[in-house]
């Protein structure tokens, strides 16, 4: 009779690597996969110390310590519900199911309520870090009841990434909050990636640098305030060659796909009336990239300005301006992401602790970046901060760096280089610091054609004008 500490269902790359990580940290792990896949075949033939594979769900469940902890690492959506229904007949009151995939947070909320009625505990857990993170230390965002979290927290703390010895896992909040935070993490991931892609485009097509030089620029930047995982891997990607000695980057089709979490973040921003322009533009950029056939036609019939720079163009200054604009863009992108989480936290009464969220983003996850330390400091001082942009540390940088952002956006526009996120960040920034916007005209138009009424700045109440009179 086995008494294993945890069961992992789903032996895809993430599930397998998490199981190995848990076992390496001294826990006994039962594993199960619905189909007899490569990993299961390997495990059954060569059982590893502390990893116990099962072909029957009943035996898998009976091999676990009570209350049982079962981690689902399977495809999000209906497969999660199907697996829950398969597990339910074998579970006892108080057992814990953990969904560690990229599930939609509203599904997690529904599953939480459904399982609570059956006295089964449920945690919706965001896990970030890709394959390597799962194996050596991911960033973990658990949502659900605190008591459920306490059951699994010793394992999570051991297997997670560490930042200065501090585990990158902290209780996030009730029901769907862990998956919501992971969703916004992914939205920021989309934004970081798009900002870096626009940077690559400016360096390659406008400045005219080769792959090695651009790679070296990213490697250099990674030693400064931009230091982050995505900048680091970009430096590595750009200098990688295939067996024929050609740069791999030059052979990759320029069509970006995605599994949807960026779109969910943009949708959530729209739902909450939050102007998260960075993630929304980043999602649109991926969609536009998929219009490859149209772009090929357009490139032959629609014209643009000349790409070449004038002979006195200061390339060194321009490159430094790109660096500053990229850092400023990153600050605004993370600020929008945190503001969105604040809005969701207020709406769902999650009571999110933003310094904790910033802390667990510092290592293991895809958006890990040195400047998250400043975000930790800002929210440690005040969890109710209106906006990260209002903190002195970010204010000082923004007030200096917006000139660089203007310079690169103007230069890109003048030479026909598309920089949708850089330019939308600049527009957002300028609109955000404008006291008197032009929404008065929008209100007048709405009232003109639809009697929608408007408010006045000099009197209270609602007003309607008969505009044709
Ligand atoms: C992570 C990542 C991961 C995500 C991939 C792909 O935190 O480890 O966010 O969860 O699934 O990055 O995302 P897209 O396919 O949507 O680009």
Phi, psi angles (nearest 5°) of residue 63: -85, -5
User: How far, in Å, from the CA of 452 to the mean position of ligand 1?
Assistant: 43
Q: Ligand 1 centroid to 279 CA: how many Å? A: 14
102 is known to lie in a ligand binding site: yes
Model pTM score: 0.97
Look at residue 19 and tell me whether its pLDDT is greater than 80.
yes
Atom 17 (ligand 1): residue with closest C-alpha?
A: 258
Instruction: Indicate which residue's Cα is closest to atom 10 of ligand 1.
Output: 128
Q: Where are the alpha helices (DSSP H) in 245-314?
A: 261-271, 277-289, 292-301
173 Cα: distance to centroid of ligand 1 (angstroms): 22
Q: Residue 99, SS3?
A: strand
Assign residue 201 the CATH number of its domain. Answer: 1.10.1040.10
For the chain, the domain total comes to 3
Tens digits of per-residue pLDDT, 133-182? 999 999 999 999 999 999 999 999 999 999 999 999 999 999 999 999 99
Catalytic, out of 16, 170, 182, 359: 182
Residues 270 and 362 in one domain: yes
438 occurs within a structural domain: no
pLDDT at 1 over 70: no
* Site residues for ligand 1, CB cut-off 6 Å: 102, 128-130, 186, 189, 258-259, 261-262, 365-366
End-to-end CA gap in the chain: 88
The pLDDT of 20-46, averaged and rounded, is 92
Indicate the helix (H) or strand (E) that contains 29: strand 29-32
Residue-range definition of the domain harbouring residue 309: 182-432
- The residue from 175, 191, 206 where one domain ends is 175
Boundary of a domain, candidates 175, 196, 231 = 175
pLDDT band at 46 (very low <50, low <70, confident <90, very high): confident
| 102 within a domain of the structure (yes/no) | yes
The answer to whether 185 is annotated as binding is yes
User: What DSSP element (H or E) covers 193?
Assistant: helix 177-201
pLDDT tens digits, residue range 275-332? 999 999 999 999 999 999 999 999 999 999 998 999 999 999 999 999 999 999 999 9
Predicted local confidence at residue 251, as pLDDT: 97
Residues 392 and 467 grouped into a single domain: no
d(CA 180, CA 182) in angstroms, rounded, equals 5
Q: Is 182 annotated as catalytic?
A: yes
Q: Is position 281 annotated as part of the catalytic site?
A: no
Do 425 and 349 share a domain, yes or no?
Answer: yes
Q: How far is CA 182 from CA 147, 262, 410, in A?
A: 21, 10, 34
d(CA 291, CA 168): 39
Asked if residue 81 has pLDDT above 80, the reply is yes
Question: What is the mean predicted confidence (pLDDT) over 30-36?
Answer: 93
């Amino acid at each position: 009779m086995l008494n294993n500490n945890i069961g992992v269902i789903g032996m895809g790359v993430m599930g397998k690597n998490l199981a190995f990580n848990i076992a390496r940290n001294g826990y006994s792990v039962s594993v199960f996969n619905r189909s007899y896949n490569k990993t299961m075949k390997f495990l059954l033939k060569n059982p590893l110390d502390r990893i116990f594979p099962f072909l029957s769900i009943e035996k898998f469940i009976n091999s676990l310590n009570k209350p049982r902890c079962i981690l689902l690492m399977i495809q999000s959506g209906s497969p999660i519900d199907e697996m829950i229904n398969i597990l339910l007949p074998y579970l006892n009151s108080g057992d814990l199911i953990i969904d560690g995939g990229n599930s939609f947070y509203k599904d997690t909320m529904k599953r939480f309520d459904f399982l609570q009625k059956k006295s089964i505990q449920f945690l919706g857990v965001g896990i970030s870090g890709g394959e390597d993170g799962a194996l050596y230390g991911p960033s973990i965002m658990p949502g659900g009841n605190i008591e459920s979290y306490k059951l699994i927290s010793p394992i999570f703390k051991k297997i997670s990434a560490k930042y200065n010895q501090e585990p990158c896992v902290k209780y996030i909040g009730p029901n769907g909050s862990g998956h919501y935070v992971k969703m916004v993490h992914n939205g920021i991931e989309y934004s970081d990636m798009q900002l870096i892609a626009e940077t690559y485009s400016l360096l390659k097509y406008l400045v005219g640098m080769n792959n090695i030089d651009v790679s070296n620029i990213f490697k250099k930047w990674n030693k400064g305030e931009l230091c982050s995982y995505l900048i680091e891997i970009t430096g590595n990607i750009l200098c990688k060659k295939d067996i024929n000695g050609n740069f791999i980057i030059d052979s990759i089709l320029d069509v970006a796909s995605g599994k949807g979490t960026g779109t969910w973040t943009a949708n959530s921003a729209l739902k909450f009336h939050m102007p998260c322009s960075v993630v929304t533009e980043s999602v649109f950029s991926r969609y536009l990239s998929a219009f490859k056939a149209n772009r090929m036609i357009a490139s032959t019939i629609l014209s643009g300005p000349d790409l070449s720079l004038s002979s006195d163009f200061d390339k060194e200054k321009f490159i430094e301006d790109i660096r500053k604009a990229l850092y400023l863009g990153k600050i605004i992108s993370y600020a929008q992401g945190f503001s969105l989480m604040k809005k969701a936290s207020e709406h769902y009464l999650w009571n999110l602790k933003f310094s904790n969220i910033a802390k667990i983003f510092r290592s293991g996850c895809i958006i890990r970046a040195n400047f998250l330390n400043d975000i930790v400091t800002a929210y440690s001082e005040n969890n109710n901060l209106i906006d990260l942009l209002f903190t002195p540390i970010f204010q000082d940088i923004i007030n200096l760096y917006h000139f660089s952002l203007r310079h690169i956006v103007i230069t890109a526009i003048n030479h026909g280089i598309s920089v949708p996120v850089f330019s939308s960040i600049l527009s957002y920034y300028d609109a955000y610091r404008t006291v008197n916007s032009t929404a008065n005209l929008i209100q007048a138009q709405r009232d003109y054609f639809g009697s929608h009424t408007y408010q006045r700045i000099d009197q209270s109440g609602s007003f309607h004008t008969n505009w044709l009179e």
